[in-house]
Each structure stands twice: as C-alpha cells, then as structure tokens.
Structure 1
Amino acid sequence: MTWVVGITGGIGSGKSAATRHFQALGIEVVDADALARVVVEPGRPALATIAGHFGGRTLTADGQLNRPYLRDLIFSDPSAKQWLEQLLHPLIRTEIVSQLNDARSPYAILSSPLLLETDQHTLTHRIAVVDLPEALQIERASQRDGNTPAQIEAIMANQLSRAERLARADDVIDNSGSLRALKERVENLHERYLAMASATG
C-alpha cells in the first residue's frame, strides 16, 4: 500500500486548510469525512439500516439522511452513538482502504477527525496533528460554522483532548498564525514526507 500520513485535529483547527495545500502540492487526500457521507447515501444499505433502527425521522422528505436530527439524537444518547459508530466505522474504513490503495502520488494523506479515536490510525505510517490554542480554535470554529462558543465546546468535549492528540503526534502542524505560515509548514513537511516515502520504497 501507499505510504500514508494521517492528518487530524479538533474542530476549527484548520485541518481542511492544511490538506488542501497538500493537494495543491500534488498529494492525493483521502477524506474520511467525505466517505462518511458516501456510505449513507440513498441506495446504500447503511441508510436503510439506520432508518430501520431509529425510525423514519432519520430520513428527510426526499430520502436523504436527516443529519441534524441524527446528530442531536447521538449527542443526547451515548448508546445510540455507539450503535451508529459500530455500523458506520467498518464501512468507512473499507472505503478508505480502497482509496488509499488507488492513490498514485508519492505518498497519500488520510484526513480524519476520528483518526485517533478509531482504528484508522493503523492505516498510517505517520501522524500529523494540526494544532492551535483552544481559545483560538473555539473562535475560528464559531466564525466558520455560526455556532456559539458553548456549542463548539460541547463538540470539543466529545473529541480527544488537545493534550491526547499532541501526545500521539509524530508531527505537529502549528496553525495559530496566518494561512501563509501554515502553507510554509505544510511545504516543509511535504519535503520530509517525500524523502521518507522514497526511503521506504
């Protein structure tokens, strides 16, 4: 399989901005979030299973997944969250493996907010964490999503802590500054990753 760098970070960390720059450098990015949407598209078995388990309100009038309803449900019910994860995580992993196997760039990026919370990290050779102070993380996520700081903090409480992520990182991508500074850090890592991927042949 392709040499793989896993990239993760909390909400509002700038993970997407970092991975977009890797893409601009010609590196293929497998986005676990995007694949999580693919596996619950209409016509996929998972969507019917979810509707059968949680009821018809999990579907919109046109047969799509009712994301706001499901999100509220799993936030308020840990057992519902666990059931959903047990259904979806293996399906998402299968899609990830397929895309990583198809990657043709010198190395590939697996971008996932749940890289360290799931076994997705076992698919990587190196882990990079996009990091910034939590106050700045809350500010940026609130501006981006239109959520209140309290809503962002509730989401963060359901993610790994900043300290836990940093403890498991091989590389830290500091995103507390400008977009230009972030791009420079990505470019420096890109050169290192090219050398590492080449060395492992």
Structure 2
Amino acid sequence: MTSPSETSVLASRFSIGLTGGIGSGKTTVANLFAARGAALIDTDLIAHRLTQPDGLAIPAIRDAFGPQFLTATGALDRARMRSHVFANPAEKSRLEAILHPLIRSETERQAREARGVYAIFVVPLLVESGSWRQRVSRVLVVDCPESLQVERVMQRSGLSEAEVRAIMAAQASRAQRLAAADDVIVNDGDPGRLENEVDRLHAQYVSLSGKSA
C-alpha cells in the first residue's frame, strides 16, 4: 500500500513510469532520457543495492530464508532465490514483504532529492503492481517482439530459452503492458529510430512538465 507521504512526493511533480518486459531495453531507453535531463529513479537498481552484501534487506532475508540463499560474499543469491520463488508463490510473497517496503522508502527518498526536468521511475513490474498507475503522470512502455526479448536475455544472462520464457510468463503480457501505456517506444534494434522516439517524447514531457530543458 502506498503511504500518504509517498503519494504526495510522487504526485508533486510531472513524472513518468517507465516499464517493459525483460529484455525490452528499459535501461537503454531510461539512460537516453537521463542524457536529455530527466531524473532517473530505478526501482530494480534500488532492489539490487538492498540485496548486495551488507544491503538493508540482507538480515531479514537471511532470517526468513536461511543463509543458503546468500552468496559467499553475503549478497542475495538471485538465481537460487528466483528458482525458489517461481516454484512457491507463498515464498514469493514472503520475499516481497521484505523488499517492497524498503524499495518504497528508498524510492520516496530519491523522489524528494531528484533535480531533473522531470522524473522517470523505472519500474519493471509497474503493470503487475497495480498501484503505480496512480502515482505517475504518464506510463511509458518500452516494447519489442517477444522473440527479440528472448534472444537478448539469453545472450546477456546465459539462461535457456525455457528459463527466459518462464520469467516472461510470470510478468504481465505484452498486450497488458500496451493496454496500460500512455506512450510506447519500440526498441527493435534500430538505434536511430530509438533516439528519434526519445527526442520526440522528451520534448513532449518537457512541455507537459511546464519547465524548460
């Protein structure tokens, strides 16, 4: 549940919720907007930091799941945890109960300190969360063919096609994301087209924010 203070912070300025399926290129697109003056707040990056060695979430994860879910350096063993929660929805809920309040708190802190022309919240599970749509001014979906998603993730992660498709199946569908979108950027591997789309939307967002770039 979103706290009143968080809602006021996020609603106090023009903001974009950026999302897309795994392998769609969210980070690439977000960085292009950042280069043009947007402030980035990446919830996935926040989650990674919380689960690094000595991260704020590590003690609670160790207590709830056991030390076998940590690496030798004390970070979350993401591969092992991913397999565990995919096989057990109750365990997924238990992990989310640890991570989500910490992510919300850090998101709010970064939103207070953001100084860009407008803010972009990068939220991989924006559609699935059910609450983000009310917390941002517009939703931007980074889209690409599902076959390209699979290819990209296999190349960067070493996961099998079956593993990648299992992750995709656990996320909102491509149709669900597109239905939730105010704006869509197609990231099909054409850098020039991608830059042009970011330029177009950046100009639109600056205008809507009431600020100058």
Q: TM-score scaled by structure 1? A: 0.92
Alpha-carbon spacing, 1:53–1:113, altered in 2? closer, same or farther (3 Å): same
- Aligned amino acid, residue 120 of structure 1: W
Instruction: Tell me the secondary structure at the aligned position of residue 128 of structure 2.
Output: coil
* Aligned: 1:34 with 2:45: yes
Instruction: Tell me the secondary structure at the aligned position of residue 5 of structure 1.
Output: strand
Q: Give structure 1 regions of 4+ aligned residues with deviation exceeding 4 angstroms.
A: none
Deviations 1:29-72 (A, max 9, x none): 11111101222344445211111111110122232222222121
Separation of aligned partners in 2, 1:149 and 1:68: 15
Aligned to 1:11: 22
Flag structure 1 segments of 5+ consecutive residues without an equivalent: none
Instruction: Determine what percentage of the aligned residue pairs are the same residue.
Output: 43
* Aligned: 1:153 with 2:153: no
Separation of aligned partners in 1, 2:76 and 2:175: 34
Deviates more, 1:52-61 or 1:126-135: 52-61
Separation of aligned partners in 2, 1:94 and 1:149: 35
Alpha-carbon spacing, 1:133–1:45, altered in 2? closer, same or farther (3 Å): closer
Separation of aligned partners in 1, 2:195 and 2:41: 19
Flag structure 2 segments of 5+ consecutive residues without an equivalent: 1-11
* Aligned: 1:178 with 2:190: yes
Check the 8 A contact 2:53/2:73 in 1, yes or no.
Answer: no
Check the 8 A contact 1:2/1:101 in 2, yes or no.
Answer: no
Alignment size in residue pairs: 199
Query: Matches of residues 1-201 of structure 1 in structure 2 within 5 Å?
Result: 1-118=12-129, 119-198=131-210
- Aligned amino acid, residue 77 of structure 1: N
Q: What is the root-mean-square deviation of aligned Cα atoms in Å?
A: 1.6
Instruction: Tell me the secondary structure at the aligned position of residue 124 of structure 1.
Output: coil
